[in-house]
Structure 1
Amino acid sequence: MRLLDTVLLSALQGLTEVLPVSRSGHGAVARLWLTSDEGALTLEGVLQLSTAAAAAIAASRMRPARIAAAVVPAPPMVACRRRVSPEGQAYMVRTAPDANYPEENPIDREMGYIVFEELGGKPLAVLFNFGCHNNMVGRVLSADMFGRAGEVLREKLGDVATVSLAAPCGDVSFMGLDGKKLVSDEHAAGRAIAGAILESFPKVERSEPRAVHVSSVVRRIPDRPYDPADFVYDQGRGSSPAALAFHKLRYEPEEAAVRVRGQTYCDVEIQAIAIGSVAIVTNPAELFSIFGLTIRRQSPFPVTIVSELTNGYCGYVPTRQSFKHGGYETYRTVYTSRLAKDAGDQIVDISLEVLRAVQTQQATGKPTRDDAR
C-alpha cells in the first residue's frame, strides 16, 4: 500500500469520531479512492476530505463568541504603483522616466479587521484586510508581510487563528515615487499591520451577533475581444533591451492564444457574508484599489471588508481611465488581464447588490437565493 493510502486510511478512521458520516460511509469513500487507477487519488479528493474534516472539527469546538471590528488608518507604507506621464502613459514604479510622475488613481489608505473573542475577552482569532501586493520577499515561498503580521498577533494575543484577506490592491505597491520601499522589509511591514490592530481593538465596542447571513451571485462577464493594439509594447515596464525582449517572450504567445479563441467569457462570483454590523464581500479579481474604496464607502454596513482574489481568479481589473493610459495591468492575456473594460464598475454594482441582499436577510430573517448567471 502506498504511503499516501495509509495516511488517508488512518485519517478516515480517526475522523469517524467527528465527521457526520458513518463508518460504512468512510469505507465507501476509501474504496472509491483506493481501488481506482493509480492516478485516481487526486489532489481534489484529498482537499475535499481535508476541508470536510477541518469544518467538522471546527464545528465540534464551537463556543459562544463576540466580535470587535473596525476600519482604521492603514500604516503609511503603500502607494499607487502606476505613474502617469504628461503624455498620458502609465509606468510601473521604478520604470518611469521621471520619478515625480503623479500617481494614477487614489488608493484606499484604511484597513479593516475583526477580532473574535470568548465572552470573557480571551482572543480566539483575528481577520485583517490590508491592501498591498504581498510580495516584498522575492524568489522564495513566503507568507510575506501578511504572515509576519500574523506572527506578531499570535505573539501578543496567544495561540489565535490569524486570517489575512487581501483588500483590492491591483495597483498598490510598497514602493514610493523613487522606487524604494516605504518600509524596510516584510518584518517591519508585518509589525506595522499588527500594531494598528493591537492599538485599536481594545477600545472598540464589542457585539455578540446571533446569526451569519450569506448571499452569492455568479455573473458571466465578457472578456475583451481580440485587438492587435492591445499587444503593442508601450514601455510601461521599462525601455531597456531586456524589457523589450521579455515583453516579446511573454506576450507573443498570449496574442496568438487570444486571437484563436474568439469571444470568451468569465464566470465571476461575488459573495457577501454579514456578521451583525460587519460584512465581508469578495471578488476573484486583482481589483484596482479605488473600486474597493468605492464599495466600502457605499456599503450599507458600518464595517465592510472587501476581499479580492477570492472564489476564483479573473485577472487584473483596471479602471476605464487606466486602459487609456496603458501599462502592464492592461496588457491583454488569456487569464491575467481579460475582462471587459467596464468590469470594475460591474463588480462594484454586484458587490453592493449582494451587500444589500444580506442586509435584507438580517431585517426579514428570510434567506435569499441569488445564484444568478
Structure 2
Amino acid sequence: MRLSLSFALLLLSFASSRAGEFRVGAAQVEITPKNGTPMAGYYAFRAVGGVLDPIFSKAIVVEQDGTHAAMVVIDLSGTTKPIVEAARKAVQEQCGIEGDHVMISATHTHTGPQLARGSLIDEITKANSGPGLEYMQALPGLIAQSVKEAKARLAPASPTVARGQCEGISFNRRVLREGQSEAIWQPKSIDLTREKPAGPIDPELGVLVFQAEGKPVAGYLNFAMHPTSVGGGLKISADYPGVFSRLVSERHAPGMVCLFANGCCGNINHGDYISGKRRTTLELGTALADAATAVWPNLSKVTTHSPRIYAEKVTLERRKFTEAQIAKAKEVASRMMTEKLGTVPMAEAVSTLETVAKKDVPLIAEVQVICFSDEVAILSMPGEIFVELGLAIKKASPFKHTFIAELANGSIGYVPNREAYPQGNYEVVSARGEAGSGEKLVEVAIKLLGKAKAGN
C-alpha cells in the first residue's frame, strides 16, 4: 500500500512538472519531383529536367497543455484547397492533431512543380495528368509525414524572437508612369524623373527561433519578396528561401530545421531598378542570412501559453467582365497553346475565363492565426497579397511580433489593394476578387489577431 502510494505521488509529481511545459518538434521531408513533372511559374509547359537543390515540406509542431498546432511551409509556388484539405485530413488521422490547427503555406518558388488549380493553365502546363497528377496525389501524404515526424520529436523548448531589416534587395515591382502601372520583373534602370514606385516595400525580417537548453532546434523566418531569382530554367530549386534557410542553419545550429514563410510580396520583387544590378540567388539568400545573424544576439525569450488557433473563411466578390472582355479572353486563350504571347494578356485571359467559369462558385479565403505567446502571432492568408495590406495588418496588430505567411491554405490569385485596381497591369488583371477584397481580408485579420490576443 505504501509502495503504491509512493508510486502514485511520483507520477503526480512528474505530471505536475510537465503541466504548462511548452514543447516543440520540427522535421523536413523532401518533396522534389521526378523528371518530366510540369514546372510552375511562367504560363507555359516546362518539364522538370534536373535538380539545382532539393525542395521540402518543413513542419514545426508546438504543444502546451495538450493543445497542438502545426506550421508547415512547402517549397512550391502555392497551395490549393484540395491539397490542403487532403493534407489536413491525413495529419488528423496520422498525428491526432486537429486539421484546423494546421497552417500550410508556400514559399512561392517559381522553380517548383505546378499544382493544378482548376483553370486554363492546367491544360497548358499539363498539371492535371501524367507526372503532374501523380505528384499532386503524393503531396498530401508527404506534408502529413513532415508533421508526423515533427510531432514525434516534441521536446521542451523556448521560443525566442527578434526582428531586423534587410534593405536593398527588395523593390516594389509596380512602377507608375502617368497614373498607369508597369511591372518590373527583372533588374533594369528606369527614368526616375518620369517613373516612380507605385508603393512601398516591407524590409522587415522576422526571426523566430525555438531553443532547447540554449541550442536552436527550429526556426521560422519571415520576409516579403518574390522568389524568382533562378529564372525560367528546367531545374528544381527552392530559390533564395532555400539558400537563406540553409545558411541560417549552418551558421547557428547545423541540423536545425528552418522554415521560410513568405510575407505579403504580391507586388515585391528583387528587380533592382535603382542600380540595375542583378543579384543572384546566393546573393539574395546570403543578404537575408546576414541580416538574421545581425539580430541573433537580440533574440529574446517570450512567455508561452497553450496554442490558440483562430480562423475565418471570408467570402469575396468575384470580378465581373463585359462580353467584349470575355470574347477577347477567349481569343487569346485559343492562341496560347500554339503561340508565344505576352505575360499580361495570358494572365488576363486565364483569370477572366476562370472567374467567368466559377461565377456561381463562392470565392472563399481562409484567414488563420496561430499564437502561443502574448508577444508573437503567426497569421496566414491565401493568395499573393500586396505589401500595403500586410503593412496595414502589422500596424494594427496587438502583438509585438506579427509574422504573416501568404499563399496559405489555398490560393485566390493576386490580392491587390484597392488603390492599385485603376492603375491596371499584371497583378490587377490576374486578380480573381473585386476591388476591396484585400481590405476585407485585412479587416478579418485584425479581428482575429485581437481575439487571439484576448484569448476569446
Q: Same fold (TM over 0.5)?
A: yes
* Counterparts of 1:168 and 1:109, CA distance in 2: 11
- Aligned match for 2:419, one of 313, 321, 324: 321
Q: 2:371 corresponds to which residue?
A: 274
SS where residue 449 of structure 2 aligns?
A: helix
Note the C-alpha offset of 1:68: 1.6
Segment drifting more, 67-76 vs 266-275: 67-76
Q: 2:103 corresponds to which residue?
A: none
Q: Residue 223 in 1 paired to residue 318 in 2?
A: yes
| Paired residue total | 310
Note the C-alpha offset of 1:177: 2.1
* Counterparts of 1:123 and 1:103, CA distance in 2: 39
Alignment of 1:239-254 (within 5 A): 251-252=348-349
Is the CA contact 1:223–1:264 (under 8 Å) kept in the aligned structure 2? Answer: no
Q: 2:173 corresponds to which residue?
A: 81
* Counterparts of 1:251 and 1:20, CA distance in 2: 42
CA distance 1:153–1:256, shift in 2 (3 Å):
closer
Q: 1:284 corresponds to which residue?
A: 382
**Consecutive unaligned residues in structure 2, runs of 5 or more:** 1-93, 97-132, 330-338
Note the C-alpha offset of 1:228: 5.6
* Counterparts of 1:282 and 1:125, CA distance in 2: 19
SS where residue 292 of structure 1 aligns?
A: helix
* Counterparts of 1:107 and 1:300, CA distance in 2: 22
Q: 2:67 corresponds to which residue?
A: none
* Counterparts of 1:324 and 1:258, CA distance in 2: 19
Note the C-alpha offset of 1:213: 1.1
* Counterparts of 2:347 and 2:393, CA distance in 1: 33
* Counterparts of 1:248 and 1:342, CA distance in 2: 23
CA distance 1:310–1:179, shift in 2 (3 Å):
farther
Note the C-alpha offset of 1:69: 1.0
Q: Deviations over 1:200-228 (max 9, x none)?
A: 12223222424211101111112111236
Q: 2:238 corresponds to which residue?
A: 143
Is the CA contact 2:189–2:274 (under 8 Å) kept in the aligned structure 1? Answer: no
CA distance 1:58–1:227, shift in 2 (3 Å):
same
CA root-mean-square deviation: 2.9
The amino acid that maps onto 2:382 is: P
Alignment of 1:175-186 (within 5 A): 175-177=271-273, 180-181=276-277, 184-186=279-281
- Aligned match for 1:103, one of 197, 202, 216: 197
The amino acid that maps onto 1:354 is: L
CA distance 1:292–1:264, shift in 2 (3 Å):
same
Alignment of 1:226-237 (within 5 A): 226-227=321-322
Is the CA contact 1:225–1:263 (under 8 Å) kept in the aligned structure 2? Answer: no
CA distance 1:108–1:230, shift in 2 (3 Å):
farther
Is the CA contact 1:226–1:262 (under 8 Å) kept in the aligned structure 2? Answer: no
Q: 2:37 corresponds to which residue?
A: none
Note the C-alpha offset of 1:254: 5.1
Q: 1:64 corresponds to which residue?
A: 156
Alignment of 1:157-196 (within 5 A): 157=252, 158-177=254-273, 180-181=276-277, 184-196=279-291
Note the C-alpha offset of 1:262: 3.9
CA distance 1:246–1:189, shift in 2 (3 Å):
closer
The amino acid that maps onto 2:217 is: L
Note the C-alpha offset of 1:274: 0.7
Is the CA contact 1:99–1:177 (under 8 Å) kept in the aligned structure 2? Answer: no
- Aligned match for 1:127, one of 220, 227, 233: 220
Q: Residue 116 in 1 paired to residue 214 in 2?
A: no
SS where residue 175 of structure 1 aligns?
A: coil
The amino acid that maps onto 1:110 is: E
* Counterparts of 1:194 and 1:246, CA distance in 2: 32
Q: Which has the higher strand share?
A: 2
SS where residue 236 of structure 2 aligns?
A: coil
* Counterparts of 2:312 and 2:380, CA distance in 1: 11
Q: Deviations over 1:112-138 (max 9, x none)?
A: 1201110x2111111111110011001
* Counterparts of 1:57 and 1:260, CA distance in 2: 40
Note the C-alpha offset of 1:73: 1.2
CA distance 1:305–1:98, shift in 2 (3 Å):
same
Q: 2:444 corresponds to which residue?
A: 350
SS where residue 359 of structure 1 aligns?
A: helix
* Counterparts of 2:407 and 2:246, CA distance in 1: 22
**Consecutive unaligned residues in structure 1, runs of 5 or more:** 1-18, 22-40, 234-241, 362-367, 369-373
* Counterparts of 1:89 and 1:61, CA distance in 2: 52
CA distance 1:211–1:90, shift in 2 (3 Å):
same
* Counterparts of 2:148 and 2:351, CA distance in 1: 43
* Counterparts of 1:278 and 1:110, CA distance in 2: 15
SS where residue 170 of structure 1 aligns?
A: coil
* Counterparts of 1:102 and 1:141, CA distance in 2: 34
The amino acid that maps onto 1:356 is: G
* Counterparts of 2:394 and 2:361, CA distance in 1: 30
Q: 2:184 corresponds to which residue?
A: 93
